[in-house]
Amino acid sequence: MPHTLHDPRISILARNIEVDDLASQAITDVVNARADARLGLATGSTPIGVYDRLAAAWRDGKVSFSQVHTFNLDEYCGLPSTHPDSFAFYMWHHLFGRTDFDPGKINLIAGDAADPTAEARRYGERFARQKCDLQLLGIGENGHIGFNEPGSPAEGRTRVVRLEPSTRAANQKTLRVLKETPESAITIGIADILQAKSIIVIAKGPAKAEAVRKAIKDRPNSTCPASFLRYHPDVHWMLDADAAGLLGAQA
């Protein structure tokens, strides 16, 4: 079936902290409209400021996350949730442990599962039963979303993937303990991501500008997996000026 192409909403913010403000406000609005909202969450360096603001909003009594259900996008294979380089650890450190999220409503991928393929199936089925009210995404320098690397199909589902050398190199700088980025991960697929009711993509810095341009300007194609977001009717790109630098005047 041919997909309809949609133009995303694009917000270009002068300073990167304004991206954090806008994204955290959008998340807070969703949760205040539906106390038991389903949130799809990302890791990486870009959302850290967003999570800082969510923690502050909770401290200030502006929002409660106690009924929210969360689903993370991805996890490195081989790492238990207690490992400082796991995405589970990141989420507890930056968000869950600083707010009132209910541990029973937090859904994370078990990176240390003995059978990663079976874990991908378990998590994918759980994810597919929910429809996220809001999916928060970052974007890789190579255009990946989640760990759907270039070559990933729009129909892709939750699965074990090998990480590209460029992704492993980009993520190297965020490692706390490991010397090298793991070679493989479990990721939600692009088709899973597209199930969300609404999607926010945040990007900061000039290293993301080319991937952002391809994702927004090119026809959807698997060399830039984020370009498949054009198939979704409610995508809001929140960009700092550097990440938006190649979009041209009309954006």
Q: In the bound complex, what is the minimum distance in angstroms from residue 82's beta carbon to ligand F6R?
A: 18
Alpha-helix runs per DSSP H in the chain: 16-33, 48-59, 87-94, 116-129, 165-172, 190-193, 209-217
Residue 236 tokens, joined:
């809001």
Terminal alpha carbon distance of the chain: 29
| Pairwise CA distance, residues 230 & 233, whole Å | 7
Residue 67 vs 128, nearer CB to ligand F6R: 128
Q: How many helices (H) and strands (E) does the chain have?
A: 7, 10
Q: How far apart are CA 87 and CA 226, in angstroms?
A: 21
* Smaller CB separation from ligand F6R, 17 or 67: 17
Q: How far is the CB of 60 from ligand F6R (least distance, A)?
A: 25
Active site residues: 74, 142, 144, 149
Shorter beta-carbon distance to ligand F6R: residue 62 or 151: 151
In angstroms, give the least distance from the CB of 2 to ligand F6R: 27
Pair of tokens at residue 17: 């902290």
Contact call for residues 196 and 233 (beta carbons, < 8 A) = no
Which residue lies nearer to ligand F6R by CB, 32 or 45?
Answer: 45
Query: Do 186 and 120 form a contact (C-beta atoms < 8 A)?
Result: yes
Q: In what order do the strands lie in the sheet with 69-72?
A: 9-13, 235-240, 199-203, 134-137, 38-41, 69-72, 106-107
For residue 201, the one-letter residue type is: V
Query: Which residue's CB atom is positioned nearest to ligand F6R?
Result: 138
Residues 6+ apart with CB under 8 A from 44: 138, 171, 174
CB of 129 to ligand F6R, least distance (A): 21
Task: Quote the least distance from Cβ 140 to ligand F6R, whole Å.
Answer: 4
State in angstroms the smallest separation of the CB of 143 from ligand F6R. Answer: 10
Q: Which is nearer to ligand F6R, 54 or 139 (CB)?
A: 139
Residue with tokens 């630098």: 245
Residue ranges in contact with ligand F6R by CB under 6 A: 42-46, 73-74, 138-140, 144-147
| Residue in the structure block whose two tokens are 């500008």 | 209
Distance, in Å, from the CA atom of 46 to the CA atom of 51, rounded to the nearest integer, reads 10
Given the complex with ligand F6R, which of 67 and 178 has the nearer CB atom? Answer: 178
